Structure 1
Amino acid sequence: MMRFLQQLWLNFLMIVILAWFGGYVLFIHQVRTQPNDVTRKADAIVVLTGTTARLNVAYQLLTEGAGERLLISGVNRVISKETLRQALDVNEKIMECCIDIGKQALDTVGNADEISLWAAERGYKSLLVVTSAYHMPRSLVEIRRMLPDATLLPVPAQDKSLDLENWWQNPKSMYILAAEFNKFLFSLIRARTESAVMSGDSN
C-alpha cells in the first residue's frame, strides 16, 4: 500500500512539473509574440516604472498624441517631479500640462491600484499600458482586476538586459522569466477566484 501511495505521489508530482513547464514555455511565447502596435491611440497612457526604456516609450507615445495624458506610476517618493523631468530630458511644458507622477505604488498590485484611481478620477475608459514585455501579462491581469470595464492596450518596452530570443541559453533570463511566470500564475489565480466569488455573490 505504501509503495502504491508513493508511486501515486510521484506521478502527481511529475504531472505538476510537466504542467508548470508547459505553462512556462507558453508564457515565454506569449511574451515574445505579444502585439506592439505603437500606432494605437487611447484616452491616456500609463507606465509602470522599472527601466528607462519604459519611460522613454511612454513619453514618445505622449508626444506623438497617442493619449492626452501620461501617468508615471511607482516613482520613488524621494524623487521630485523636476528631478525626474531633468533625468528624462522631458519638455518642461509637457511635464507641467500632461504628466502626472504616482508615488504610492510599491509593487505591481500597487501600480494597478494607483492607475485605477487615476483613470477613474479622470474618466478614462481606454489606456495604453507601457512596461517591459515580460512584465506585461501580470500587469494587465492586475490592472483589469481594478478596471474590469476599461480597454487596455499593451505597448511592451524592450528590456536589453533580458534575452528573450535565446532565453534557454541564458540562466539569468531563465530565472527572471520563471520568477515572473510564478507571479503571473498567482495573479491570474487570484483574479479568477475573485471573479468567481463576485459572480456567485451577484446570483
Structure 2
Amino acid sequence: MNTLAELVVSLSYPPALSLCLLGIAVLAWVVRRRWIAGSVAGAALAWSALWSIPFASETLRGVLEHRYAIREASALPSADAIVVLGGGSNYAWLDREDVDPTRLRSSRLAAGARAWHAGKASKVILSGGGVGNTTEARRMADAIQRLGVPEEALMLEERSHDTRDNARFSTALASEHGGRHLLLVTSALHMPRAKLLFTQAGADVTPVPVPEGRPAVGLRERWLPSRRALWRSGRAFKEFAALTAAWIGARAH
C-alpha cells in the first residue's frame, strides 16, 4: 500500500506522468501501433502544457485552498495551543531590519505569531524534525522570536518527518500540557490533509490556513504558461494523492 502511494505521489508532478506516457508512446511506435503512439504522445504533451497555464493551476489548487476560510487572528477562537507546521518558508524576511508579522501574509510563522499576539493561546508548538541541533523546529523558534513571540511561549516538536508525525507528536505534546484544542497553522493547500491527520490523532482542530504567494493577476500572468505554474500544479496533485491515501488509511482502520 505504501509503495503504491509513493508511486502515485511520484507521478503527481505533470512532467513525470508525461514522460511515462511518452515511454508508452515509444513502445507503441516500435510495435507499429502508430495511431496509439500518436494519441498517447499528444496526451502526454497536452497534460503538462495544460497544467503549466497559471489559470488552470490556480483553479486546481483552489479546490484545496478554498476549503477553509482565511481569517484574521482576532476572529479566531481561543485554544489550548497554536501549532505551526514546518516547511512553509525559507525565512528570507529575517534579513530585514524591521519585521512586522502583519505584513507577512504568506508566512506560517507570522500567522502563528499573529494568533499568539491576539491572545488566542499561551503556547506555540513548532513542529519539524531533523538531525541534532539543526531541526526545523529550532530554526522556526529562532525566526518566530523575531516576530515577538518569547522563548518561554514555545514548545518544540522535533521528532516528525512527515505530516502524520506532525499530527501524532504535536497532539501528544499538547495533551501533556493539558489540552487538545489546537489552532493549526499550515499552508491553505496543505490544510485539508493536515486537519484530517490531526483529527485522526485525537486533536480538536481549528484551521488557520496561510496562502502561498499572491494570486496571478492580468491576462499575461493568468494565461501565459510558466514553470512556476507547472510546479504549483504538481504540488496540488501531490496533495490530492496524499490526502486520498490518508483518507483511505482512515477508512481502513
Asked whether the 8 Å contact 2:60–2:236 carries over to 1, the reply is no
2:242 to 187, 190, 196: 187
Q: Which amino acid aligns with 2:85?
A: L
| Deviation per residue, 1:50-82 (Å, 9 max, x gap) | 224211220221122111311011155424888
- State the TM-score, normalizing by the size of structure 1: 0.68
- Match of residue 138 from structure 1: 193
- Match of residue 125 from structure 2: 71
Tell me how far apart the structure 2 counterparts of residues 23 and 31 of structure 1 sit (CA, whole Å): 12
Asked whether the 8 Å contact 1:129–1:155 carries over to 2, the reply is yes
Tell me how far apart the structure 2 counterparts of residues 86 and 146 of structure 1 sit (CA, whole Å): 28
- Match of residue 89 from structure 1: 146
TM-aligned CA deviation for residue 163 of structure 1:
4.2
- Bigger relative CO (Cα 8 Å, ≥ 6 apart): 2
- Number of matched pairs: 182
Q: Structure 1's 145 and 178: CA in aligned 2 closer, same or farther, altered over 3 A? A: farther
TM-aligned CA deviation for residue 196 of structure 1:
2.5
- Match of residue 201 from structure 1: none
Does 2:76 correspond to 1:40? yes
Asked whether the 8 Å contact 1:138–1:183 carries over to 2, the reply is no
TM-aligned CA deviation for residue 101 of structure 1:
1.2
Q: Percent identity?
A: 24
Tell me how far apart the structure 2 counterparts of residues 82 and 31 of structure 1 sit (CA, whole Å): 28
Q: Structure 1's 192 and 157: CA in aligned 2 closer, same or farther, altered over 3 A? A: closer
TM-aligned CA deviation for residue 33 of structure 1:
6.7
2:159 to 104, 107, 112: 104
Asked whether the 8 Å contact 1:127–1:151 carries over to 2, the reply is yes
Asked whether the 8 Å contact 1:24–1:181 carries over to 2, the reply is no
- State the TM-score, normalizing by the size of structure 2: 0.56
